[in-house]
Structure 1
Amino acid sequence: MDFRNESSSTDEMDYSDWYIDERLDPTSPPEELTPCNPVIQVDLFNICAVGASVMVLVFLSLFVKRRLLCRGCCGGAPGLLHPVGFLESDCHRGIAAAVFGVLFCSLVLVVIDSNPLPIGLESSKNTKEYLKIAALFYYPALYYPLLACATVKNKVGYLLGSLLSWLHCGVLVWQKIECPLSSELYKYYSLLRSLPQLLCLVFLSIVYPVLLVTNGKTSGNPTFHWCQADGYYTDYLKLLLRKRPSKDSICTDQSSLSSKIRTLIRSYIYIPMKGFRIPPKLTVSMTVALVTIYQVALLLVVYVVPTLQKMRAGVREEISYILEGFGINLSDKRSEVLKIVKYYFWILEACYVSAITVSCCFNLLMLMRSMVLHRENLKTLYRGDTYKVFKVQKRIRPSRSAIVCWMSFTSYQAAHITLGLFIQLLVFFLCFLLFSFLIVVPILYGQNLLLFKVLESMWPFWLALIVVLLIQHFLARLLFLQKDGKSLSITNRRSLYIFTYLFFMFNVLIGFITGVWRIVLTEIYNIIHFCRLDLSLLNQGAESLDLGYRCYTGFLLVEVSQSHPVMKAFCSLLLHSKGLGLSRDDKSKNEEEGIQLVPSQTSVKTAKSKRIRARWSLMFTLLNNPTLISSRKAAVCTPADLVANGELNSSSKHTTDDLAKFELCEKE
């Protein structure tokens, strides 16, 4: 026997000849997208946009400073305009929210794209991280003038804002029309990723021209832009001091099922309330949160779903040999094995898409609920009730940590939503897989009923635990608890001691089950509420260790201490009263008209009583204003005189004096 010839023949044999079946045609390589070069290059546009933004910002700074501060020696010096007044109520919330939405879309570009700084610099492995750091400063500087143009509150600013927004929006639309496809991740990912950015830029392109037209009609009124804020503060004050309805007129029938359902639905739907306005920082945070959910969900879908589809399309009949090598025999026919494997891949894809959908729905639901609670917390803190919100007594005043928390609240919200979506996706995907492959698929095919076999073998044990638990509830209701009138008392104590001893071992096993349920329920609850910063994921007493909740509490402290509507209304009333500037002729005319309109004596007493009551109520509200506590003299009122519900202690000397004066005025 010639072993040499046999060995040479085996060496010449190809590994693919080991299978006796027919060879499959090699799969065609994936279609590669031809590189697209738009007419307006991305690098060239970014360089030109940076130059235009710097020119607009310098011009606005010179225009505002020389217009307002030209009286002093250094009044003409330029200064950097602030982007948006987050602590003021007269800023345009839509413009701020749109610019922050565009900014977050740019952050996604920095994290994912191979060229994070598109200004003509080539990125390598050594310089890519440095370019990312530079890009984190570049994009905020690029879109800074879009906010500064609205801060100027002038026709010039609105005109420049219109031009800038049209420039960014027009170039982006032109680039996407020319090159809708991309070679990164998924061919339509670049187009889908830019949809929120396009919507925000289109919104800016419409709002700025509208503001330009409306400002041109009211340019003669210098206080036009501030009337809206003053009106909001005075409306809030009127709503606060209005006469409240009596308790008898309030409907107390809240026990019906329909009313409970309506109350539950309203607790998750934010309905605008007359006399109250959400702070601009919260509006920006909610907009960024919605853009975050869209961008992260799109990224998760694009990373996995096309890969699963390619794997399902690339399955061949030879997969049966691979499965048999692992001891898995799905069927005797290879065609049936092919169908089953493709069906399993389809189940994986369906479970993954379902998990992403459920995660996005839960995050949207939690954001809706948090908006309702934000309003309730702000209204409660406006009254000075810190214990109801923080569960401890706190002085509402800014601090270094509170200012840092206020600055980073929007960013923390977006980061927590991103992490929450990742964690929820993993948990829900695993739950859907277990449910599909352990319950649904075995029932449909009648095979691999492993879970049902385990439950069938252990049914006496589970039945015994359920019966023992039902017996304990039955005995507690009928034998161990006795009703004496309106009170309940424990009776048959000897039997209670006996059954407690007999059921001890069963209760230990039931305790293990409740412990597992406690772990599962706690994890699911924390995962679902992970995106909410207004709730602490730790128990009371350890809330300070939850940095997300600490960020929210610091945000509330700064908002309430610096933007209290009663304080702003009081200050605006003082400014209006000093700035009337009437001449003597105008005052004499007003006095003559007032003499002619003097009412009767009874109406004077009534008006005087109402005026005294309103002034006393205003003084009482300002006395409990958290914003003014830190600047109040200790001799007038101390923090110990304040209680949680915004009322003064009856033992306080000043309170009793004020009440006595108020009663005397009412008698007069």
Structure 2
Amino acid sequence: MLLLLYYVIIQACIQVLPYLQPLEDTIQTAVDALSVVFIPDPEDDGQNNGDPTSSLNFPIPKLVRPYLFAVFITLIVIVLQLLVLLANMRRNLLQLFRGEDCEIPRRQRSRYVSYASGNIHFAGYFIGYLIWGFILIAAFSVVICVSIDAFITFGNVRFVEKILLKVIPSVLFVLFKQYLNKILAQYVFLQHRGEVLALNNRRILMIFIFFNFFLDAFLGFISSIVRLIKSVIGGIIYMCRLDYSPLGRKLETMDGGFSSYCGFLHTECTHRHPVMLVFVSLLYTQTKIKELAMYDRNYVDNFKGHVFELKKQSSSRYVRKWKLAVFLIRNPTIVFFRKSFLSQLNIEDLHALNDLDNDDKKNLQRRLSIYTRRMSAARASISSETNINIIEKQRF
């Protein structure tokens, strides 16, 4: 990843710089043609002093300096985004280990194939989104740096000034209206100056809402445009982040990058869960210890000249049975996980019990009904202490 980023930066700084000088005239012509739509007749106050750039609506400065600044800014943004991505990946993986689904959608059985496919696509999508994000952020940074450099070099840019003169009053009015609503809400319409979410002066509030409705309709139109602009800028900046979907919480599964990210995390959680790894490691260690002890004993016996066969102690079986009985008495719901109980279930009941991902009310009631019908499979001394509330609490 770092090697790829280093290669892209070197190529952007070395290969592109020779082409910037020929592009200046082309970009200047295109910008002039575009600015004519907003400013048909450039103003001429007679103070150009023979400077041809003073008659241009948007004079383009030398592109080398703003381009290098834009590449440097893009590099900083990309590195920060990658660091945040790695931190979020670790946090989201720990959340999946704990069973939390506040950020990553909960695993569903019907999407197992999609998770496996997303895990396959994750590495390639990560590189593709990184390169495309670098290009978009670099282009956006170039526009900003060129505008700032034009202001510094030429003193004024008529095209940008016209846009700011039309945009700034609306923005200031929206900000004034928002702060006015906050002040009124805190000191007039809420009790205890906003420390309690309880309305005060309700009649005045209803009158204010009635007359404020028409103004908010206009502000809503402006806010929708600002929302669209923020979405575009946010999508450009967060393009290299697979853990973030610009589509929103309800539509994030339609994002291919975010879906591959979820598939990768769910696959990692399934195969690298710490509890599962510790349990398997414990079983593997105990098996190896027994094999080593058996090998050492057989080796010693063969060395003495006679073969010794281990005899199973008859008492060990009764000890295991006694421990099992005590364990089941202390944990009565474990009865429903034993082979004697599961062997009496059909395929549909087994799917209903094992499908822990679909935890809606219908499936929950079905699983509880299965436990209720099959309680006779357990002994009365154990199952009599287990009611339906305990099963629902401990099993689900």
Q: TM-score scaled by structure 2? A: 0.61
2:119 corresponding residue in structure 1: 406
- Once the two structures are TM-superposed, the CA of residue 351 in structure 1 deviates from its matched residue by 2.2
Whole-angstrom CA distance in 2 between matches of 1:525 and 1:459:
21
What SS does the corresponding residue of 1:408 show, helix, strand or coil?
helix
What SS does the corresponding residue of 2:198 show, helix, strand or coil?
strand
- Once the two structures are TM-superposed, the CA of residue 462 in structure 1 deviates from its matched residue by 6.4
1:383-394 matches, cutoff 5 A? 383=98, 385=99, 387-394=101-108
Aligned partners of 2:191 and 2:199 also within 8 Å: yes
Per-residue CA shift, 1:434-474, capped at 9, x if unaligned? 3443xx24xx6555555556766898776655544443332
Whole-angstrom CA distance in 2 between matches of 1:298 and 1:640:
51
Q: Match of 1:365, as an amino acid? A: L
In structure 2, the CA distance between the partners of 1:477 and 1:310, relative to structure 1 (3 Å rule), is: same
1:375-390 matches, cutoff 5 A? 375-383=90-98, 385=99, 387-390=101-104
Gaps of 5+ in 2: 25-39, 302-322, 360-387
What SS does the corresponding residue of 1:531 show, helix, strand or coil?
coil
The yes-or-no answer on 1:652 pairing with 2:391 is yes
1:569 corresponding residue in structure 2: 281
Identity %: 22
1:357 corresponding residue in structure 2: 72
Aligned partners of 1:641 and 1:652 also within 8 Å: no
Aligned partners of 1:351 and 1:432 also within 8 Å: yes
Whole-angstrom CA distance in 1 between matches of 2:118 and 2:168:
54
2:142 corresponding residue in structure 1: 429
Q: Match of 1:379, as an amino acid? A: L
Whole-angstrom CA distance in 2 between matches of 1:401 and 1:532:
20
2:215 corresponding residue in structure 1: 506
Q: Match of 1:512, as an amino acid? A: F
Please, what is the CA RMSD of the aligned residues?
4.6
The yes-or-no answer on 1:475 pairing with 2:184 is yes
Whole-angstrom CA distance in 1 between matches of 2:133 and 2:171:
35
1:556 corresponding residue in structure 2: 265
Whole-angstrom CA distance in 2 between matches of 1:360 and 1:311:
23
- Once the two structures are TM-superposed, the CA of residue 418 in structure 1 deviates from its matched residue by 0.9
In structure 2, the CA distance between the partners of 1:375 and 1:302, relative to structure 1 (3 Å rule), is: same
Q: Match of 1:513, as an amino acid? A: I
How many residues are aligned here? Answer: 304
- Once the two structures are TM-superposed, the CA of residue 352 in structure 1 deviates from its matched residue by 2.0
The yes-or-no answer on 1:497 pairing with 2:206 is yes
Whole-angstrom CA distance in 1 between matches of 2:170 and 2:60:
37
Task: Tell which deviates more after alignment, 421-430 or 298-307.
Answer: 298-307
The yes-or-no answer on 1:516 pairing with 2:225 is yes
Whole-angstrom CA distance in 1 between matches of 2:85 and 2:281:
27
Whole-angstrom CA distance in 2 between matches of 1:348 and 1:455:
23
What SS does the corresponding residue of 1:580 show, helix, strand or coil?
helix
What SS does the corresponding residue of 1:533 show, helix, strand or coil?
coil
- Once the two structures are TM-superposed, the CA of residue 495 in structure 1 deviates from its matched residue by 1.6
Q: Which has the higher helix share?
A: 2
2:10 corresponding residue in structure 1: 298
- Once the two structures are TM-superposed, the CA of residue 538 in structure 1 deviates from its matched residue by 1.8
Q: Among 227, 231, 256, which residue is 1:547 paired with?
A: 256
Gaps of 5+ in 1: 1-288, 313-325, 589-611, 624-628, 657-668
- Once the two structures are TM-superposed, the CA of residue 413 in structure 1 deviates from its matched residue by 0.8
In structure 2, the CA distance between the partners of 1:448 and 1:422, relative to structure 1 (3 Å rule), is: closer
- Which structure has more relative contact order (CA 8 Å, sep 6+)? It is 2
Whole-angstrom CA distance in 2 between matches of 1:382 and 1:457:
52
What SS does the corresponding residue of 2:95 show, helix, strand or coil?
helix
Aligned partners of 2:108 and 2:357 also within 8 Å: no
2:28 corresponding residue in structure 1: none
- Once the two structures are TM-superposed, the CA of residue 368 in structure 1 deviates from its matched residue by 0.9
Per-residue CA shift, 1:229-257, capped at 9, x if unaligned? xxxxxxxxxxxxxxxxxxxxxxxxxxxxx
Whole-angstrom CA distance in 1 between matches of 2:170 and 2:118:
53
Aligned partners of 1:398 and 1:558 also within 8 Å: no
- Once the two structures are TM-superposed, the CA of residue 533 in structure 1 deviates from its matched residue by 1.6
- Once the two structures are TM-superposed, the CA of residue 572 in structure 1 deviates from its matched residue by 3.2
What SS does the corresponding residue of 1:429 show, helix, strand or coil?
helix
Whole-angstrom CA distance in 2 between matches of 1:547 and 1:481:
44
What SS does the corresponding residue of 2:63 show, helix, strand or coil?
helix
Q: Among 526, 536, 546, which residue is 2:235 paired with?
A: 526
Aligned partners of 2:125 and 2:257 also within 8 Å: yes
Aligned partners of 2:116 and 2:263 also within 8 Å: yes
Per-residue CA shift, 1:375-425, capped at 9, x if unaligned? 222233334x15245333535x99444333323321211111111111222
Whole-angstrom CA distance in 2 between matches of 1:514 and 1:465:
8
Whole-angstrom CA distance in 1 between matches of 2:216 and 2:132:
39
Whole-angstrom CA distance in 2 between matches of 1:399 and 1:517:
39
Whole-angstrom CA distance in 2 between matches of 1:350 and 1:291:
25
Whole-angstrom CA distance in 1 between matches of 2:78 and 2:394:
47
Aligned partners of 1:533 and 1:548 also within 8 Å: yes
